[in-house]
Amino acid sequence: MYGCMKLDAGFYCVEAKADFIPQPIEVLLLSCGSRICSAHQGGGELPLNTLDNNGVFRALAIIGFCYTTKLVLTHGWGLIQAARVYLFEPLFGRKRDWVREYGRWAVITGATDGIGKEYAIQLAGKGMNIVLISRSLDKLNKVSREITTDFGVQTKVIVADFQKDLSIYADIVKGLANVEVGLLVNNVGVFPPYAMHLTEMDPQSIWQHVTVNVGAATMMTRLVLPQMMERKKGGIINISSAASFCPSPLMCVYSATKMYINYFSEAIRDDYSKYGITVQCLTPYYIATNMTSYSDRIGKAAITVPTSRQYVRSALQSFGIAHTTTGYFAHSLQYAGSQLMPTQFYKEIVHKYQLQLRHDDLKSEPIVNLLRFNLTRNYC
């Protein structure tokens, strides 16, 4: 097998014997110890039975070239997407007809507060009818009244606690009978009350993370996909988190459940895009909602901490353009910065930040709660 490659000095023909070795590895091996002939310079074969400087430099050049190409392609594509979402769409984007593009109804889990409630409001503003799903009937009715009054669309409410067993999905199926689901927003999620170690979490909370963060999105997607496939259109928005970017010490269960959402989203996108179904995975950093209200650092709106309204407005602009995105400009900058660092270094920063949050939280926590959660909590 022969391959030709342009390096600084000219063209080199590389001879190899084994077809099963991937070419870059093959070239690396060859340039470090086999036969290399300089075709361009007309020289004969240069036997390099031992490691020589030229071989090492060539190998490094090839590795550098491959790595730089990968970085340029990955980040270049990211930049193009960012320009489309944050610059082109707001300035020149066409007005979209969401009902025609996706269908009449949007189903939103965890729809009575924060990001879910905001999705309900903003999608109703685009003319979609809304199915709201959460635990509390009072809160559901309140949001439903707000939406029908403000936007004149239809709403349905379904009471479901995603922490419970499989039987809740039978109730959801009944609630969704005859509903043409155009969009599903898998928003419901839980977060630990503090940055805490696994052994400090009570078993109920661990179980809740798995059933709500992982189970709900998976089961709801399973419920709505068949009708979307039949109609050959539809959209699914999965709310993951920036906590999924690296294993997060002190948030081990939360970050792992969100990583599941990333993989799940990517896999179903590959499986079902041929049916005209758009699958988006959102990976936001902190947003000022009830979930983050426990800390002044992340619970108050700031440049890097949008309100749920700001966040959802921006994220909706990205739907159909960016498959996986933080959904918010300041968050995308944070993400870009994180990508320039070695993973271990980024993990250290996340860890330090979690320690800081934990320190703040524990300082402000009433003593009775500290005792209730864990008598042996270590202050790191």
Ligand X SMILES: NC(=O)c1ccc[n+]([C@@H]2O[C@H](COP(=O)([O-])OP(=O)(O)OC[C@H]3O[C@@H](n4cnc5c(N)ncnc54)[C@H](OP(=O)(O)O)[C@@H]3O)[C@@H](O)[C@H]2O)c1
Which residues does the annotation mark as catalytic? Answer: 254
Phi, psi of 16 (to 5 degrees): -135, 160
**Residue 311 C-beta: closest distance to ligand X, Å:** 8
Q: Which residue, 6 or 164, has its beta carbon nearer to ligand X?
A: 164
Distance from the Cα of residue 10 to its chain's centroid: 44
For 334-346, the DSSP string reads: HHHHHHTS-HHHH
**Residue 137 C-beta: closest distance to ligand X, Å:** 9
> Which tokens is 19 given?
């077809």
Q: What does DSSP assign to residue 293?
A: T
**From CA 248, how far away is CA 253, in angstroms rounded?**
9
How many other CB atoms sit within 10 Å of the CB of residue 278? Answer: 20
CB 354 within 8 A of CB 380: no
**Residue 127 C-beta: closest distance to ligand X, Å:** 23
User: Which residues lie across from 238 on neighbouring strands?
Assistant: 186, 281
Question: What element of type H or E holds 272?
Answer: helix 252-272
Q: What does DSSP assign to residue 201?
A: S
**Residue 248 C-beta: closest distance to ligand X, Å:** 12
Residues that bind ligand X (CB under 6 A): 110-116, 134-136, 139, 160-163, 187-191, 212, 239, 241, 284, 286-287, 289-292
Question: What element of type H or E holds 71?
Answer: helix 53-83
Amino acid at 163: Q
